[in-house]
Chain A
Amino acid sequence: MSVFAAIVVGLVQIVVVLVGGPLLLGVMRKVRSVLEGRRGASIVQPLRDLRKLVTKQRLRPNEASWVFAFGPVILVSTAVVVAGLAPLVTTRPPFSVSSDFFALVFVLLLGSVFLALSALDTGTPFGGMGSSRAMTVGALAEPALLVAILAMAIPAHTSNLATLVRAGLAHPELIASPARILALGSFLIVILAESGRLPVDNPSTHLELTMIHEAMVLEYAGPDLALTTLGESMRLVLLLGMLVNLVAPWGIANQAGPLWFALGCAVLVAKVTVAGTAIAVFEVFTAKLRLFRLPELLAGGFVLALLGAVTAVVTR
């Protein structure tokens, strides 16, 4: 693929994720509203919110350092880099030499770490609380995630995500294998934990003492808040995009050509919308787990991943 084509492909993926993030948020809120019996805001409302936030004043706690302002920027930039490198629209993303699953996960982790640091930089107890809880949830989710990646990588002999998706397209029986199903179940639990959805964290709560992710961003205003919201919604799109391409890769552009590429975009949007809707429906019928029960959920995810890995080794 020529350098020009690679850049175009990367940019299109980034734009799809950039715009799709707030839209996904809008879709999920709409689904929740409809199931609650009301109409709810329109799907593009988060975009309106972002537009208004850019015009508001920027605020900063008076003893915060540069890390406070840097956090949202790095949250968005890590999401953009992963959007450019992950196999979302096409199985041959630009520079697929770097779409290693392990690497992509750790790039996203860089964003979370900086957000946690910025939360501590606010100097408020809420920031520390959100940061502490988010990092603990992340630490407990990481074994599940890495063992799930291992379970998916064993049959394909590589941890490169693009290769994994291509392997799924070429051998559909791989997708239906118990190892992959268990690993993806574990991956789903990790996604819920990392993106702060129910039952791990309620994204629309007002009670500070129940917050995990929300508590980290209480101090941001204006464009910083816009970046933070954008970054978190992009991360959700990215994680769901990776999940759906591992569960049902059909429709992703496997050959070069603008037509395949456009089809790939449309199919990605459709698949992520379906996944997001499913999560929103699940959220309506689930209550938030109390904080002390979270390690049990994450340990359950780990056990699923471990079973998946053992199955993958045994059924090779």
Chain B
Amino acid sequence: MSNAPLIVTGVAGLAATIAGGALPRRVRVWGATLLTWVSCAAAIVGAVDVLRHGDSLILRSSQFIPFTGVNLALKPLGSVFVIATAVVAVASTLYWTGYAKHGFSTRSASAAMALFVTSMLLVPAAASVSTFLILWELMALSSLLLVLTDQARREEARSAAQWYAVMTHVGAAAILLALVILSTHAGSQSFDAIALHSRQLPSGVRATVFLLAVAGFGSKAGAVPFHVWLPKAHAEAPGPASALMSGAMVNLGIYGILLVGDQLLGGGPVWWWLVVMALGVVSALFGALYAATSTDLKRLLAYSTSDNMGLILIALGASGLFAANGNHAASSVALVAGLLMMLNHSVFKSTLFLAAGSVQMATGSRNLDRLGGLMRRMPVTGAIFLVGALSVSALPPFNGFIGEWLLFQGLLHGLPTTSTAIVIAVLVGVGALALTSGLTVVAFVKATGVGFLGRARSDEAILASEVPRVMQLGAGLLAMLCVLLGLLPMLVLGALDRAARSVTGTSIQSPVRGWSALHLHGLHGVIAPLLLAAGLVVVTALAGASRRRAHRSASPYPDLRSTDPWASGRQLQTPRMQYTATSYAEPVQRVFDDVIRPARDVDVSHAAESRYYIERISYYSTSDDLIERKLYRPFIAIVRWWGERARSLQNGSVHRYLAYGLFALVVILAVIA
């Protein structure tokens, strides 16, 4: 199998970066976009080739990177992630060509976009430690540049970039440590060599490596409690960048955990996968809860990313648990469910972020409490957002539903076991799946309903108009993909099955392959998404038609009258009297008050004449991230205290600094000797 696709991906990606940095403004964005498309197309071709034949695409060279050389090997598992990234990248860059007029067409932003896409395409193909880390770092730096595009105007963008920079590098440090431990033991950097030798490591070292990898990769994926950067960075990045970050970059965290857990370490004891599942449960619940109570549209989407990644971690953890217990059928179902959910998430989350970017461009605001009435003013964007919202809420006939169904089936069929740990884990997993599903529905009905439906709550919403065609097309392509994947998941399940088989060794598809129904191999589980969808469409059309027909023929008043909404006869009814995002989430917030603990403040100002005449009452309720408040801020405060203490060492005297140098030299000589 020729490795030309890999070469083309790399070269075109590099060319795109240079084009983004060098071309004049008029052609910069289109130039970088077209070259990025070439790179993505080559990546898809290569990945499909790998999945069809089961071999790997290998590319080794000692030329490009000094000291270590480039070592790329695209395997079936990595191919799935490459396809997800490529699809999202094609649509996002198309969208970007329309969005770029918003100060997003600078040299650094264009080059960063292209570099970001290329590095994400190549990370799943990396086959040695140095290649992997270099690509990982390129990915982090380019996305950091993208988060910073708005930093001149917004303080929050700078702060978000700071958090992101620190946390991604701490995560990278953990990953580096884990991979270095493995490669020093194996005596070689190549992943194949590491996989061969890792079995001989003592179990304590293996556990440490696994935990470091889970922490580092989990942070990239947005797993709680390492997720704190995600709502900040994904919310502050511009539309297409946040689509790429949420739709493609977080997947690589999942890839990393699978890489280290299954490929490099070759699987492990049960408690590893319990840790992964626990991480997943906490992320899913936390993310869903904060999405449900968030009033900023993009923060809501970012927390929902954390939630979905948590569900994928549950799937991965369940898969590992069942495999360790010997139940390979359920294990492969769970793993395929996880991969399918990853793919679905890429598609629908990027749809949502692109639509949110359109809303931000049209109204200048991300605050749901200032939006509303956009469905009539931006019908295409509204419909796209609705499709994305129905997909993330896992409703048939869209794509999120099949992923959740598969996960449920995997958990159900993993239950016949004697191990108490697995029973508890499965029950907790199903409960978490259900609760997050419900909270996600609340979050997205809120986002769609408060943001797009009803009456406009502010001037900027009243004056909103539809975005350029190119942006509609970019987001619309992904929305159509949501529908397609929901109707015909069988299109991708074969590929996912092959990827999962490379990890677990069994497959899920029944020997009888149909195009309309999905059968689980060896288990009793079947679903027919196309049939459900067809039934829904036909019956909905019939119901709508019969309503019109019956009404026209029976009523002496056949026309639709448009009236003011009924408001109990109130004389004054303003759009501000509608439910806001805060009020919509209030019942949820009340139930989960102990977790969210919003800070409340009531400010009463009196009239000048008398204390008894109240002029204005202001009520503030801010709910910031609980983990950030309880875990990170105290830690940052301690570090800052330590830093200020250490500052006393710098008193400006050259003599003292020379003495420090001498002291350090003496200590090092003593240690070496």
Please tell me whether chains A and B touch each other in their complex, using a CB distance cut-off of 8 A. Answer: yes
The answer to whether B567 and A124 touch across the interface, beta carbons within 8 angstroms, is: yes
Residues of chain A within 8 A (CB-CB) of B588 are 136, 139
A102: chain B residues at CB < 8 Å are: 405, 408
Q: With A55-B556, A97-B531, A124-B567 given, is the CB distance from A73 to B540 under 8 Å?
A: yes
Whether B380 is near chain A, meaning CB under 8 Å from some CB there, is no
Interface residue from B437, B525, B526, B547 paired with A142 (Cβ < 8 Å): B437
Q: How far is the CB of B295 from chain A (nearest CB, A)?
A: 14
Residues of B within 8 A of A157 (CB): 413, 416, 523-524
Given the known A-B contacts A81-B535, A113-B393, A153-B412, are A100 and B561 also in contact in the complex, defined by CB atoms under 8 Å?
no
Given A54-B555, A113-B393, A132-B579: A306 in contact with B431 (beta carbons within 8 A): yes
- Residue numbers in A under 8 Å from B200 (CB-CB): none
Number of contacting residues on A, CB 8 A?
88
Known pairs A81-B536, A106-B396, A147-B434; A139 contacts B405 (CB<8 A): no
Task: Choose one: B395, B423, B583; the contact of A106 (CB below 8 Å).
Answer: B395
Contact B454 A76 (CB under 8 A): no
- Taking CB atoms, residues of chain B closer than 8 Å to A141 are 438
Interface centre among B376, B452, B578 (most CB of A within 10 A): B578
Q: B453 touching A117 by the CB < 8 A rule?
A: yes
Tell me which of B445, B523, B555 contacts A135 (CB under 8 A). Answer: B445
* A37–B640 alpha-carbon span in the complex (Å): 75
Contact B373 A97 (CB under 8 A): no
Contact A163 B445 (CB under 8 A): no
Interfacial chain A residues near B366, Cβ < 8 Å? none
- Flag if B561 contacts A132 (CB, 8 Å): no
A39 beta carbon closer than 8 Å to chain B:
no
Interface pair B562/A62, CB less than 8 Å apart: yes
- Report if A38 contacts B (CB, 8 A): no
Q: Verify B555–A97 contact, CB threshold 8 A.
A: no
Interface SS of chain A: helix
Q: Which of A124, A125, A139, A150 contacts B438 (CB 8 A)?
A: A139
CB pair B532–A103 under 8 Å, yes or no, is yes
Q: How far is the CB of B377 from chain A (nearest CB, A)?
A: 9
B513-567 residues with Cβ-Cβ distance < 8 A to A are 517, 523-528, 531-532, 535-536, 539-540, 542-544, 547, 550-551, 554-557, 559-567
* A97/B536 contact (C-beta < 8 A), A59-B561, A123-B454, A123-B575 known: no
> Is A132 in contact with B586, judged by CB distance below 8 angstroms?
yes
| Complex contact B395–A109 (CB within 8 A) | yes
User: Would B526 and A160 count as touching, CB distance under 8 A?
Assistant: yes
- B195 CB-CB contact with A under 8 Å: no
Q: Are B416 and A316 in contact (CB under 8 A)?
A: yes
Residue of A nearest to B517 (CB): A97
In the complex, the answer to whether B427 meets A131 with C-beta atoms within 8 Å is: no
The yes or no answer to B415 lying at the interface (CB within 8 A) is yes
A55-B556, A77-B540 known; A135-B441 Cβ under 8 A: yes
Partner of B405, one of A60, A78, A100, A316: A100
Interface residues of A in 215-270 (CB under 8 A from B): 218-219, 222-224, 227
- A128 beta carbon closer than 8 Å to chain B: yes
Which residues of the other chain, A, contact B554 by a CB distance below 8 angstroms? 54-55
**Are A124 and B547 also in contact (CB < 8 A) when A98-B532, A109-B441 are?**
no
Give complex CA distance A128, B542 in Å: 29
Contacts of B591 in A (CB 8 A): 136, 140, 295
CA distance A129 to B446 in the complex (A): 12
A63 to B585, CA, bound (A): 23
A246 to B188, CA, bound (A): 61
Question: B408 to chain A: which residues have CB within 8 Å?
Answer: 102, 146, 150, 159
- The residue in chain A whose Cβ has the minimal distance to the Cβ of B375 is A65
Check: B401 CB closer than 8 A to any chain A CB: yes
CB pair A147–B578 under 8 Å, yes or no, is: no
Report chain B residues within 8 Å CB of A188. Answer: none
Q: Which residues of A contact B433 (CB under 8 A)?
A: 146
Chain B: residues with Cβ within 8 Å of the partner, total of 89
In the assembled complex, B626 has its CB within 8 A of some CB on chain A: no
| Closest residue of A by beta carbon distance from B454 | A123
A227→B427 CA distance, assembly (Å): 38
Given known contacts A135-B441, A139-B438, A223-B547, is B527 in contact with A100 (CB within 8 Å)?
yes
Most buried by A among B454, B557, B568, B575: B454
> CA A127 – CA B411 in complex, angstroms?
37
**CB–CB B401/A106 < 8 A:** yes
Q: Cβ of A132 and Cβ of B524 under 8 Å apart?
A: no
- Cα distance A165–B139 when bound, in Å? 53
Verify if A282 is at the interface (C-beta below 8 Å from B).
Answer: no
Look across to chain A and name the residue whose beta carbon is closest to the beta carbon of B524: A158
Is there an interface contact between B409 and A143, defined as CB atoms closer than 8 Å?
Answer: no
Is there an interface contact between B565 and A122, defined as CB atoms closer than 8 Å? yes
A292 on interface, CB distance cutoff 8 Å? yes
> A132-B586, A291-B587 known; A58 and B445 CB under 8 Å?
no
**Contact: B579 with A56, CB < 8 Å?**
no
**Max chain A C-beta neighbours (<10 A), residue from B386, B575, B585, B587:** B587
CB distance from A121 to the nearest CB of B (A): 4
| A140→B592 CA distance, assembly (Å) | 11
Q: How far is A85 from B435 in the complex, measured between Cα atoms in Å?
A: 26
Min CB–CB distance A152 → chain B (angstroms): 11
Q: Which residues of A contact B423 (CB under 8 A)?
A: 310, 313
Choose among A85, A110, A136, A150 the residue that contacts B430 (Cβ–Cβ < 8 A): A150
Is A191's beta carbon under 8 Å from chain B?
A: no
Given the complex, which residues of B lie within 8 Å of A67, measured CB to CB?
375, 386, 453
- Report A-chain residues with C-beta under 8 Å of the C-beta of B540: 73-74, 77
B390 located at the interface, meaning its Cβ lies under 8 Å from any Cβ of chain A in the complex: yes
Q: Does A203 lie at the interface of the complex (its beta carbon under 8 Å from any beta carbon of B)?
A: no
How far apart sit A70 and B542, CA to CA, in the bound complex (Å)? 13
- Chain A residue numbers with a CB within 8 Å of B438 are 138-143
Interface pair A65/B441, CB less than 8 Å apart: no
**A208 contacts chain B at the CB level, 8 A cutoff:** yes
In the bound assembly, the distance between CA atoms of A141 and B379 in angstroms comes to 33
Contacting pair A56 B557 (CB below 8 A): yes
How far, in Å, is B434 (CB) from chain A's closest CB?
A: 4
A54-B550 CB under 8 A given contacts A80-B539, A154-B412? yes
B566 close to A218 (CB less than 8 A): yes
B577 in the interface (beta carbon within 8 A): yes
A77 and B536 CA atoms in complex are apart in Å by 6
Render A70-109 as a binary contact track against B, CB cut-off 8 A, 1 for contact.
1011101110110011000000000101101011001101
Going nearest first, the 10 A-B pairs with the smallest beta carbon separation are A128-B579, A139-B438, A120-B449, A158-B524, A146-B434, A142-B438, A65-B375, A57-B557, A121-B453, A143-B434
Supply 18 further A-B pairs (C-beta < 8 A) apart from A54-B555, A67-B386, A81-B532.
Answer: A58-B561, A59-B560, A60-B563, A62-B562, A65-B453, A95-B531, A97-B527, A103-B401, A120-B454, A122-B565, A135-B441, A146-B433, A154-B415, A159-B408, A160-B526, A222-B551, A223-B551, A302-B431
Name 15 A/B residue pairs within 8 A (Cβ), A-sorted: A61-B563, A78-B536, A85-B535, A97-B531, A113-B395, A117-B445, A121-B449, A128-B578, A128-B579, A139-B588, A142-B438, A157-B524, A292-B590, A302-B431, A310-B427
Give me the interface of B with A, judged by CB distance under 8 Å: 292, 373, 375-376, 379, 382, 386, 390, 393-396, 401, 405, 408-409, 411-413, 415-416, 423, 427, 430-431, 433-435, 437-439, 441-442, 445-446, 448-450, 452-456, 517, 523-528, 531-532, 535-536, 539-540, 542-544, 547, 550-551, 554-557, 559-568, 573, 575, 577-579, 583-588, 590-591
